[in-house]
């Protein structure tokens, strides 16, 4: 099973700042990694797939990068709506397709 480790667990930032979230895989997942945003009481929302492609309707301030075992989600110029929990998730060739434990982006 591929383990995804997200860091940091919590990120405290102010609106307008840039958030940099990390996801590290225990073995290569090529580019088959996605990022999701989840707000309290809501279902997760797909932000990024295949490491760097924004999903439909996702603002350009969200960007993803990486391949192999190291991935980054960058949120530029944080808006109040962006404070949430973010998960990475791999969809490499074989299951199980695990999620990271999440990074909470909170208002400083």
- Residues lying near another protein in the complex (CB under 8 A) are found at 1, 34, 36, 38, 43-46, 49-50, 55-56, 87, 89, 91, 95-102
Closest CB to another protein among residues 17, 50:
50
61 vs 91, beta carbon nearer another protein:
91
Minimum distance between the CB of residue 17 and another protein, rounded to whole angstroms?
Answer: 25
Nearer to another protein, 9 or 60 (CB): 9
Supply the minimum distance, in Å, between the C-beta of residue 89 and another protein: 7
Nearby residues of 38 by Cβ (< 8 Å), 6 or more positions away = 44, 45, 84, 85, 86, 87, 102
Question: 86 CB contacts (<8 Å, ≥6 apart)?
Answer: 6, 21, 35, 36, 37, 38, 47, 73, 102, 103, 104, 105
Other CB atoms within a 10 A radius of the CB of residue 76 amount to: 16
Least gap, CB of 21 to another protein (angstroms): 14
């Amino acid at each position: 099973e591929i383990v995804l480790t997200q860091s940091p667990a919590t990120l405290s930032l102010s609106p307008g700042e840039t958030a940099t979230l990390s996801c590290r895989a225990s073995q290569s997942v090529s580019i088959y990694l996605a990022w999701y945003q989840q707000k309290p009481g809501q279902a997760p929302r797909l932000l990024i797939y295949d490491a760097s492609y924004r999903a439909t309707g996702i603002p350009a301030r969200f960007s993803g990068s990486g391949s192999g075992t190291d991935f980054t989600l960058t949120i530029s110029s944080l808006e109040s709506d962006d404070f949430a929990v973010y998960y990475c998730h791999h969809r490499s060739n074989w299951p199980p397709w695990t999620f990271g434990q999440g990074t909470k982006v909170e208002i400083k």
